[in-house]
Amino acid sequence: MINQFELVPRDSPAPMILYWMVIFIVSLGLIDSRSLNRKKRITLYLTTLIIAGVILGGIPHVVLPIEYTLTTIASGGGLISVLHPLAICTVIIAFSFVVGRVFCGYGCPVGVIQELISQINFPSDFTKYQKNTTHVEISSRISTRIRWIYFCVLIITSIIGFNLVSVTSPMSVFLFIMGSSLVSMIVISILSIFLYRPWCRFFCPFGAASAFCSQFATIKYRRTDDCTECGDCEITCPTQEAFDHSKKGECYFCNRCIEVCPQDAIKYDLDI
């Protein structure tokens, strides 16, 4: 029997990059056309999990260039060897300046696992969300502080010769490389029941850069003149980014705000 991973050339990033392009275009099209409902969201999440995670083994992933760089720093090697993967990572981050965190929302297999689990305690139904008391809400200000403290720790540990991100990252679990990556995935999965996207919001080094850039995105979710200030979207948003003038750096396009809005007063729009 042929191993499924033998079907994918491990030395070529082309299949994954092609998938990223497809899922990016599809998800962005659904968001822009306001036709992204819960059924379509779940379908996109499962598609990324199966194709990007199971079939392609999660390789390459956007944390990998950062991991390579930190490993190179830890080993005292030259950074020339990591310029190519860093270039790919930089291009994806650059898109965050324009369209926000669409990739984090729908292109990352670890991200979609957390999103799928979050459906348990972070429902898009306003009434159910209000009645649910088992989820923990942490403000973007606190999550940002934790994220950047952790990022600084990654840099410091790399300088002294230890690559912490390779130990804490769950990405290798898709290659069935167990050990610390399996432990990380189990912990993240359990935390995702109570905390919304804990890896993305607190520990992912790519997420730190993408969140910063997405604050300046020219196209993002905005309220229209039909808004009655009912506050349903603000209560339901798991990252507290649904406020009228929030920067949307932690918006993963989960669409909860759209689904609970009684006036259909939120649209993905250009800031002009």
Q: What is the pLDDT of residue 65?
A: 75
Residue 9 has pLDDT above 90, yes or no: no
Please give the share of the chain, as a percent, with pLDDT higher than 90.
43
Mean pLDDT of 69-76: 69
Q: What is the mean pLDDT of the chain?
A: 84
Question: What is the pLDDT averaged over residues 29-55?
Answer: 93
Confidence at 7, pLDDT banded by 50, 70, 90: very low
CA-to-CA separations, 1 to 5, 50, 195, 247, in angstroms, rounded: 12, 19, 40, 50
User: CA–CA separation, 86 vs 60, rounded Å?
Assistant: 11
Q: Per-residue pLDDT averaged across 135-155, rounded?
A: 86
Give the pLDDT confidence score for residue 121 in this predicted structure: 87
pLDDT at 272: 45
Confidence grade of residue 66 (pLDDT, cut at 50, 70, 90): confident
pLDDT at 193: 93
Q: What is the pLDDT of residue 74?
A: 65
Query: Is 60 exceeded by the pLDDT of residue 8?
Result: no
Crossing angle of the two packed helices 83-99 and 205-214, in degrees rounded to 10: 40
Between residues 192 and 244, the one the model is more confident about: 192
- Which range has the top average pLDDT, 110-114, 201-205, 265-269? 110-114
For 72, the domain range is 4-270
Q: How far apart are CA 71 and CA 247, in angstroms?
A: 33
d(CA 37, CA 34): 8
CB distance 203 to 211 below 8 Å: no
Find the mean pLDDT for residues 150-167. 83
Query: Would you call 268 helix, strand, or coil by DSSP?
Result: strand
For the chain, how many structural domains are there in total?
Answer: 1
Check residues 221 and 65 and name the one with the higher pLDDT: 221
Q: Which residues contact 53 (CB under 8 A, 6 or more apart)?
A: 109, 112, 113, 174
The pLDDT tens digits of the residues spanning 101-144 come to 999 999 999 999 999 999 988 887 767 776 777 788 887 788 88
Rounded distance between C-alpha atoms, residue 241 and residue 239, angstroms: 5
Of residues 154 and 187, the one with the higher pLDDT is 187
Confidence band for 77, pLDDT divided at 50, 70 and 90: low
- The pLDDT value recorded for residue 79 is 64
For the segment 223-265, what is each residue's pLDDT rounded down to a tens digit?
999 999 998 999 889 998 998 888 999 999 999 999 999 999 9
User: Does residue 215 carry a pLDDT above 60?
Assistant: yes
